[in-house]
Amino acid sequence: MRLLLFLLAFAAALPTHAQKPVYAVASIVGDRLMVVVAEKSVGSNIDRNRREFYPLNSPALDNGLILAVQDALQDSDPIAKPILLGVSAKALGETQARALDEGNDSKPLIDAIAPAARKAGATHLILALKHRDDARLRTANGMVGLGKLEGLGFYVDAVMEMVNEQNGERSIGFVAPFAYIRFLLVDLGTGATLREKVVRESHAVANQKATVPWEALPADQKVKLLQQLIRAAVADAVPELLEKP
């Protein structure tokens, strides 16, 4: 009996290894694009921008984002096998719009997605949501912009003078793809958000030959730049989400 008690006590004293996290990945940022056309009044900071939303019928941008997260996870752990969730951003569009209006409240969205992640066997969820914040578009001379942006889209300014630093060319106006994304790491056991990271990526492009700023980039280049911004956002966010406390 003493030997049994000793063995039980010895086993209890041995260090235990925590279960290795199994990550599910979901993105609900790519259901539509926001196009903002800046309307500036002299001497005023009032936001009079025109905003339009264009629905996307393809999940390509969300799929690209979760694949980028998969790559980032496997960079940190080559044998990691994240679970990629096919969540409909369009189906959660109204829920996300309300969440943004209520101050980026993420709980309704986590509650909508977490059951599928748990059922798939995940212990943690990496979730990409739209973020709403002030316009801060990156140019060669710093950040510019007026009003609010959210999610994925394009900001168009038709009046700002732009200077090409390489050749000194001057042009009027620019178009800037942007990706305003909020990444969450959620413990699926407790439902608690362990970490979050907000990323605001943008890239202003001007073209002296374009008759209007929107035409500074051809359609395929607009898509390509947006995809690059998404990948840059993921590369910025995922290492911080996975940092040990």
Q: What tens digit of pLDDT does each residue of 10-29 get?
A: 444 444 445 789 999 999 99
Let me know: does 176 contact 203? Beta carbons within 8 Å.
Answer: yes
- List pLDDT tens digits, range 49-69: 899 999 999 999 999 999 999
The pLDDT of residue 10 is 40
- List pLDDT tens digits, range 91-131: 999 999 999 988 878 899 999 999 999 999 999 999 999 99
> Among 37-41, 172-176, 222-226, which range has the highest average pLDDT?
222-226
Distance CA 182, CA 47 (A): 23
Let me know: does 68 contact 149? Beta carbons within 8 Å.
Answer: no
Q: Is 202 a residue whose pLDDT tops 60?
A: yes
- How is residue 14 written in tokens? 């041995």
Let me know: does 229 contact 217? Beta carbons within 8 Å.
Answer: no
Rg over CA atoms, the chain = 22
- Tell me which DSSP letter residue 214 carries: G
- Tell me which DSSP letter residue 17 carries: P
Distance CA 68, CA 77 (A): 14
Let me know: does 154 contact 175? Beta carbons within 8 Å.
Answer: yes
The pLDDT of residue 172 is 80
Could you tell me which residues are beta bridge partners of residue 155?
36, 176
Let me know: does 129 contact 150? Beta carbons within 8 Å.
Answer: no
- Tell me which DSSP letter residue 146 carries: -
pTM equals: 0.86
Distance CA 191, CA 49 (A): 38
Distance CA 166, CA 245 (A): 44
